[in-house]
């Protein structure tokens, strides 16, 4: 089959929920001319009125196109799952490829007596390599270096006018930004490793919080380690500088009003921190599905994904040992970051049942930067967490830093934070003696 009008209607039905879905689709995807015309009409209507049309609002003008109105009514009656929009598009793309191939076969058959084989072959190749999925996920791109020279010049001028546009996504923690040359970049995979209770989960949600809260970047935080409710309480503790146990046990006392104000501010700020709680077995393919679902819901992919944590995931491909498991998993996560043009941050447990399996030499080949987390009772008492750079493709590989980590407040980060808001008797011993901090509610 070379066409599927029911599928074309489902794509347009998704566009009635969010017209931005339709912007990148070429007319050639629609074999019914009514539907390609309707796509343009929907986009024009949204550009003029800032809302998608309905059959009632579309038919109010004196010059209403009855054919397009009939097509719109037909689309309104079509049932479509917007979470499947990327899947619908992939199927349309596949059908489009088949039609192009079919036409090229017919063209070659008719011209085989008049043109050379090499000429026909080159024509077919040129036509086929021009095909691409408009969502541009996982597509192979080809071309000579010089082809995009003019485009790169325009890109440079845009960067020169706005240098901040090319800065990496800051971790919100100065040490990580320094050793990565400015933060996270699309296509990167960054990993932390640490023993049980080394602070992996706290560090990961602090990174998610920093990026969403202060940079307003769209972050998908996938949790396998704790439930969504538990994670939200942890983030509330981080956001309010109130002790986690006081929140979950209902013992805030005089700080109850402060917690209520913090929750109200969250509803005003709308930090784009999107939590995905996957309670069952999770693979890299599941993460890809969540990315596609996010696109279907919001019309854009997240800037990055934080996974808590990779040690609770499995690779898509079969593995025979723990070494293979983590090697395959880290490889697939890195490929996912490249395919979706996002960054991925995750963590692994250093040892599992006594075997140091998580960080063989192979895993370092699949991450841009890998850090080790080190803690002990003395550091927990001093509210510190030692971070070491284990491998680094783009910077120093032998640096370390003691981060400020008052775990009761779910904070992990810089020492020059506004410490007046970080709780009572939280600090570290220095040569000048212990530093005691006082929380204020102002």
CA–CA separation, 126 and 355 (whole Å): 52
Match 């397009």 to its residue by tokens: 68
Q: 0.75 cut: is pTM over it?
A: no
Is 439 domain-assigned?
no
Final residue in a domain of this structure, among 77, 106, 129: 129
408 shares its domain with 265: yes
Instruction: Using DSSP, state whether 345 is helix, strand or coil.
Output: strand
Is 422 domain-assigned?
yes
CA–CA separation, 283 and 292 (whole Å): 15
Domains identified in the chain, total number: 2
CA–CA separation, 255 and 263 (whole Å): 13
DSSP string, 345-369: EEEEES-BTTB--TT-TTGGGG-SE
303 shares its domain with 384: yes
Token digits of residue 250 = 């209902």
pLDDT in tens, the chain (442 residues): 788 999 999 999 998 988 888 888 889 999 999 999 999 999 998 888 888 899 888 875 556 788 999 999 999 999 988 778 888 888 898 899 899 999 999 989 999 888 888 888 888 877 776 777 777 666 666 778 888 899 889 988 988 888 876 778 999 999 999 999 899 999 999 999 988 889 999 999 999 999 999 999 999 999 998 999 999 999 999 999 899 999 999 999 999 999 999 999 999 999 999 999 998 889 998 898 888 888 877 878 999 999 998 888 999 999 988 888 888 999 999 999 998 889 999 998 876 534 444 455 677 889 999 999 999 999 999 999 999 999 999 888 889 999 999 988 899 999 876 544 444 434 333 333 223 333 333 3
Is 442 domain-assigned?
no
Give the CATH number of the domain where residue 176 resides. Answer: 3.40.50.300
For 434, the enclosing helix (H) or strand (E) is strand 433-434
Please give the residue range of the domain that contains residue 84.
5-129
Is 158 domain-assigned?
no
Phi, psi dihedrals of residue 435, rounded to the nearest 5°: -105, 120
174 shares its domain with 120: no
Label the pairing between strands 343-349 and 304-308: parallel
């Amino acid at each position: 089959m070379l066409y599927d009008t029911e599928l074309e209607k489902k794509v347009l039905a998704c566009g009635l929920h969010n017209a931005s879905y339709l912007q990148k689709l070429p007319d050639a995807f629609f074999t019914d001319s009514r539907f390609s015309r309707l796509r343009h009409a929907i986009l024009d209507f949204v550009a003029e009125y800032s809302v998608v049309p309905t059959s009632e609002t579309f038919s109010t003008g004196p010059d209403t196109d009855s054919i397009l109105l009939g097509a719109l009514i037909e689309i309104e009656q079509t049932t479509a799952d917007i979470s499947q929009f990327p899947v619908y598009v992939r199927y349309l793309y596949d059908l489009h490829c088949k039609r192009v191939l079919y036409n090229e076969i017919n063209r070659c058959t008719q011209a085989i007596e008049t043109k050379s084989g090499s000429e026909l072959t080159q024509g077919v190749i040129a036509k086929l390599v021009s095909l691409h999925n408009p969502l541009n996920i996982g597509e192979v791109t080809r071309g000579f270096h010089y082809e995009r020279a003019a485009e790169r010049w325009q890109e440079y001028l845009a960067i020169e006018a706005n240098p901040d546009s090319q800065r990496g996504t800051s971790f919100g923690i100065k040490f990580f930004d320094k050793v990565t040359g400015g933060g996270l970049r699309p296509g990167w995979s960054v990993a932390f490793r640490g023993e049980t209770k080394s602070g992996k989960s706290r560090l990961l949600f602090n990174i998610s919080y920093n990026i969403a809260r202060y940079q307003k970047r769209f972050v998908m935080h996938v949790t396998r380690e704790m439930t969504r409710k538990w994670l939200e309480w942890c983030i509330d503790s981080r956001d309010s500088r109130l002790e986690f146990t006081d929140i979950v046990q209902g013992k805030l006392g005089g700080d109850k009003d402060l917690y209520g104000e913090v929750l109200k501010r969250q509803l005003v700020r709308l930090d784009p921190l999107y939590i995905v709680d996957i309670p069952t077995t999770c693979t890299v393919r599941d993460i890809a599905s969540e990315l596609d679902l996010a696109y279907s819901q919001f019309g854009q992919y997240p800037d990055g994904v934080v996974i808590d944590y990779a040690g609770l995931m499995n690779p898509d491909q079969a593995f025979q040992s723990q070494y293979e498991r983590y090697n395959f998993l880290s490889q697939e996560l890195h490929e996912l970051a490249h395919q979706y043009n996002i960054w991925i941050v995750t963590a692994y447990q250093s040892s599992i049942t006594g075997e140091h399996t998580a960080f063989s030499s192979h895993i370092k080949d699949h991450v841009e930067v890998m850090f080790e987390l080190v803690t002990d009772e003395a550091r927990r008492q001093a509210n510190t967490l030692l971070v070491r750079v284990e491998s680094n493709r783009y910077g120093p590989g032998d640096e370390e830093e003691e981060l400020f980590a008052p775990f009761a407040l779910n904070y992990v980060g810089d020492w020059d934070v506004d410490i007046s808001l970080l709780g009572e008797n939280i600090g570290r011993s220095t040569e000048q003696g212990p530093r005691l901090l006082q929380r204020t509610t102002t």
